[in-house]
Structure 1
């Protein structure tokens, strides 16, 4: 493993962890031990100090001594700390364990520290797919006689709590797109229908969609779902933006403006992600050199839609030296994509950050971060991707914290 990969699975152990330095027993008749000043501090004072640290720093202090462990075992206090804004990676071959820690886990990146680490999962052979604040959603094999039956599990990997949702058939688990609402409600979308299962319920509610195609890269924004649908022909894709309110999943409508022109036609295989601030959508795809169906792409273009004004602007273009690393992948010309079909590239992220991974880019990712002031954003490399020979990773934003229980 690369040296910059941290083993945080011990740091983020459950609250009943016993990996704390214990004080030695005092023999009878021994001289009295001097009073350590920190022992005189009230727990509120310790919380005042620890509250100035990040969540990872505060939790790491639990293994220093028993006093710190007791002060940092309060769920209300841990819940008050800002969550960690992480990139969670979906392993190409389900969850992976390291040689040092055989427990099922998933890889995560702290973009600020540029540090990789592992967080534990409650089930083996599970596949994380999305997240809501503090909660992770993953597919696991259901406890059923039907081999094709799978269930969604909602868990908080920091506290160890989890909840198994009612099992679903193989069609939903293989072809459905999972979304997680801020309140912990799970949504599974296909072309024809959507399923919804909220907290405190033990069944799925079904809604008819009747969209022109399977919704591509749906995102949750301002109480609504936005997704791309292909309304073209088998020979040429034609993308359009659709949306519906969360309170009325069955009523989808196209989002169109005459002044948008060919904004959806200049990108090859566009994908939507949430922008920074909660009021903007990013659309990422290969920039066509012309409007011809087989036109090659010159780079990756990121467009931004302001949901208040419904105006598009250019948010960023991948630098040529970075794009050359992905040439022949999904954003290359159609001929190159067919000739090098195994040179896949994945686009993922959210909250104003976009990551790119590909078979030709081993051991690292490209990261773009949105400039909230309207600039073209910042492009950088993220090195040290663990297990880079396993295949192409996908991922999603995960705000890890103690603020929610499954």
Structure 2
């Protein structure tokens, strides 16, 4: 009798499977078919479920329910944050300035670049060899025309956890100085963070973080695909991006997807429980993975943080002479799923913009393999990954 070998899924930064609770909630809510915008009984039932989901997600990050809007993805949430805040300011004030990092996700970089045609100048700050932004560089980049700063909380490729609280403190100080120095109304200065990769691994409390806008994505937290959320602090001035309805505070027209919202809410609620314990356990497993790889492939190079400041489930490595795509294909044949970069950039044959921004040597630019563990990853799983990597390296590695 033939037995199918269990596959090991280690691409959690791209997408996660549905948790049992999220799946159960999704199935329960599939029977809630009313349009939450109507007033009959079926619609009222749908609206109640939607309101409950919004409240649960808000509670999981320490926000108010009226500060949360649903979207179709983390990418859409980033676009709403950027275009919704910046377009009205550009129309009112003319040429303005924004700041982000060179290693940001394309759903931040591309919308900011697109606004160049409307008068926006964007500084894409460099980072150090581990992916960290310098607070000094950030402060020096802020001008009197800077109105928007966007820094990803957890980099999706190399797992760098940026100092969002310190960045928020810096921005608060600059805003205070602006107000004290100006007799007229000064320009606003908003801080946005894409926290899509964070909820399973970091405690999220928006007041403590000090941000104005925060992006979430259900598929990264054991929730369903096709839904995201955006936290918008009450004092933030933002305009509609998707027009044609009054849903989501009038910022995103369209009938809300109640089953996805409810499933997302359960996933976020579960993610917030025992998050530090979960992160500690998986970080230990991740570190064991690295030790097993080093034992078998001593020349392995770690991309991103080497000690502190890496999210618990992320390991990004390069094996000199082993093409990353060949490694991914080889591992897949061995029953292991990993990736080379953000799934949103798959198909782009150029080296990862994140790996390039770290100052990685040219000969290693196409060797980066991203391994991102699920919460239930075991030491047996990571030993299997290390063994398979050694096998593939011996088979496909070239001399450089």
- Tell whether the structures are fold-level matches, with TM greater than 0.5: no
Range of TM-score over shorter length: under 0.3
TM-score, normalisation: structure 1: 0.24
From the two aligned structures, give the one with the greater strand fraction.
Answer: 1
Greater Cα radius of gyration, structure 1 or 2: 1
Q: Which has the higher contact order (CA 8 A, sep 6+)?
A: 2
TM-score by length of 2: 0.25
